[in-house]
Structure 1
Amino acid sequence: MSASTPSDFDDSADSIDERKFVVALARGLDLLRAFRPGETMLGNRDFVARTGLPKATVNRLAYTLTVLGYLRFDEGLGKYALDAGVLSLGYALLAGADTLELARPHMRALALEVGAAVSLGCRDGLDMIYLETIRSETALTLGLASGSRLSMLTSSMGRAYLAVQTVEVRAALFADLKRAAGDAAAALASAAERAIEAFGEERCCYSFRDWHEDVNAVAVPFREPRDGRWLVLSCSGPASSMGEDVFRERVAPKLKALARRLGQAE
C-alpha cells in the first residue's frame, strides 16, 4: 500500500482542492487503515511496509495518534494496537447509517432464502470495506466480518463500484489500483474491466473464483437516499455448490430488487 493521495478519498478527483487537502491527516489515517481484520498489534516496520511512509514519519504519526487515543502502545512488545478512539468513530458511523438499519432485515431474508452470505459495503481508499455481512445458517462461504476489506479489482463489490463511476474517475482509480497490485496488475485489471463492461447489460458485476478459488459472488451498486454516496450490495457463496448459473439466474435478480428497494440503483 502506498501513502494516500487526494484522489484516493473521493468519487471524483476533480472535486479535490489540493490547497485544502491536509496530507499529514491523510497519512495518519493510513496508519489506522493498516490494521487488517483479526490483527491486534502492529509495529513501526509493519506501518512502513503497508503505507510506504518513511520510518521517521511513521514514528511521529504513531506517537500523535497514541496521544489522541486512537492507538495504544505496548511497551513490552514495542507495538501498537487500536484504541477506544477508533471504536467511538465506528459507532458514530453505524449509529447514523439509516440505510444499514433498513437493509439488515432484507439482507437477512435474502441470505436465508438463497443460503449464502449477503453483505453491504462502501469504498475506502482503493478497497471496499464491509459495513455488514449476514449469513444463512447453511452458508459455507468464507466469512468476512464488518470492517473487512477487499480489493476493488478482485471483488464483485469493488467492480460494481467502479462500474458506476465516471470514465475519468474510473481511469484514475484503475491507474492507482494497477500500481498497488504490482506484478499481478495486468491480469487482475483485465478481469475487472471485462466485468465492468458487462455491467452495461447485466446491471451487476460478478466475481467467479477471482477473489478465492471456491467463492462466487455478485454485486449491485445503489445510491444511498440520504447523502447520495454509492453503496454496494453483494451476495457470495461456495463455488462448489453455487455455480455461475445460480448467481446469474437466481441470486442476481433478487439482489437487484433489493438494491432498488434500498435506494437509487443504476
Structure 2
Amino acid sequence: MSSSSDITASDSTAIDERKFVVALARGLDLLRAFRPGETLLGNRDFVERTGLPKATVNRLAYTLTALGYLRFDEALGKYALDAGVLSLGFALLSGTDTLELARPHMRTFAREVGAAVSLGCRDGLDMIYLDTIRSETALTLGLAPGSRLSMLTSSMGRAYLAVQPEDVRASLLAELKKAAGRGGAAQVAAAQREIDAFAGEGCCYSFRDWHDDVNAVAVPLREPRDGRLLVLSCSGPASSMDEEVFRSRVAPKLKALARKLGATV
C-alpha cells in the first residue's frame, strides 16, 4: 500500500508542498489501512501497509485514538475504527445529492437486470463504493458502501482511468503496476485494453478479472452540482451473466442510467 504522504505525479491536481501537511496525510493512511471485513489491526499491520516507521505509527495511532477515530482493544493489543470515522462517512453520504437522486433509479435498474449496481469514486489507488444496491436474485459478492476495489482489475477502476488526462493516467498506471508486484504488468495490460476501447464503447468491462465469478461494466459520470467524477457500475455472476449479456443488454441500460444521473464523460 503506498502512502498518501508520498507526493507523486499521479495526483490529478498539482500539490503545493508548502501547504501539504505530511503528518495529516500519514494519519489518514492509517485509517485507510483497514480493508473490508477487517475489524482489528495492530501496529505491525499498520507498518506493513503504510510503510511508515513503527515509532511514527505509534504516535499516529495514539493521536487518532485520543480524537475518537480509532479505539484500542487492551486485551488484544490492536486498534479498531471508532465512531469518528463513521461520522465522516455519514457526512459524505448525506452531502452527496447524486446519491439521493440515484437510489430509486438504481433500485429499478437492479431489479430489471437482476444484478448489483453501484456508485463509487477514487480513493488513493483504489475505487470505493459510495452506495450499492442488489436485486433480490443477485448472487454477487456482498460488498457494501465503503468497500474497496482494485483500480486495475475492476470495471469501475478502468472507467475512472479511461477518462483521466494522458499524463495522469500514465503515472497512475506506473504506480499501480509497482503496487501490484508480481503480475502487475499483466494487470496493467488488461486494463489498458479496456481503456483503449473506451472511446468506442463508452464504458469499461471486467470479465472475471476482479473476481473469478464476477463480470462487470462501468460508466464514468460527473455530478451535476460540483462536477466530481463518479463511476456507475453493474456486476453479476459470470456463471449466469456472460460477456454477451453485459455487452448487449446491461451496458446500454447502464449508459442510459448514467446519462440520467449526471454528465457522462
| Corresponding residue for residue 41 of structure 2 | 42
Cα distance in 2, alignment partners of residues 195 and 175 from structure 1: 16
Q: How many Å apart are 1:242 and its aligned residue?
A: 0.4
Q: How does 1:60-75 map to 2 (within 5 A)?
A: 60-75=59-74
Q: Is the 8 A contact 1:6 1:21 kept in 2?
A: no
Q: Is the 8 A contact 1:9 1:125 kept in 2?
A: no
* 1:131 counterpart SS class: strand
| Corresponding residue for residue 114 of structure 1 | 113
1:61-113 CA distances to partner (integer Å, 9 max, x unpaired)? 10110111111111111000111111111111111111001000101100000
TM-score (structure 2 length as normaliser): 0.97
Instruction: Name stretches of at least 5 consecutive residues in structure 1 with no aligned partner.
Output: none
Cα distance in 2, alignment partners of residues 24 and 34 from structure 1: 16
The code of the aligned residue for 1:156 comes to S
Q: How many Å apart are 1:39 and its aligned residue?
A: 1.2
1:2 aligns with 2:6: no
Cα distance in 2, alignment partners of residues 81 and 100 from structure 1: 28
Aligned residues: 264
1:77 aligns with 2:97: no
Q: How many Å apart are 1:10 and its aligned residue?
A: 4.4
Q: Is the 8 A contact 2:10 2:175 kept in 1?
A: no
TM-score (structure 1 length as normaliser): 0.97
Calculate the aligned-residue CA RMSD, in Å.
1.1
Q: How does 1:63-142 map to 2 (within 5 A)?
A: 63-142=62-141
Cα distance in 2, alignment partners of residues 3 and 124 from structure 1: 12
| Corresponding residue for residue 212 of structure 2 | 213
Q: How does 1:251-262 map to 2 (within 5 A)?
A: 251-262=250-261
Relative to structure 1, the CA distance from residue 161 to residue 89 in structure 2 (aligned partners, 3 Å threshold; closer, same or farther) is same
List structure 1 segments (4+ residues) > 6 angstroms apart after TM superposition: none
Q: How many Å apart are 1:8 and its aligned residue?
A: 8.3
Relative to structure 1, the CA distance from residue 147 to residue 9 in structure 2 (aligned partners, 3 Å threshold; closer, same or farther) is farther
1:97-150 CA distances to partner (integer Å, 9 max, x unpaired)? 110010001011000000000000000000000011100000011121110001
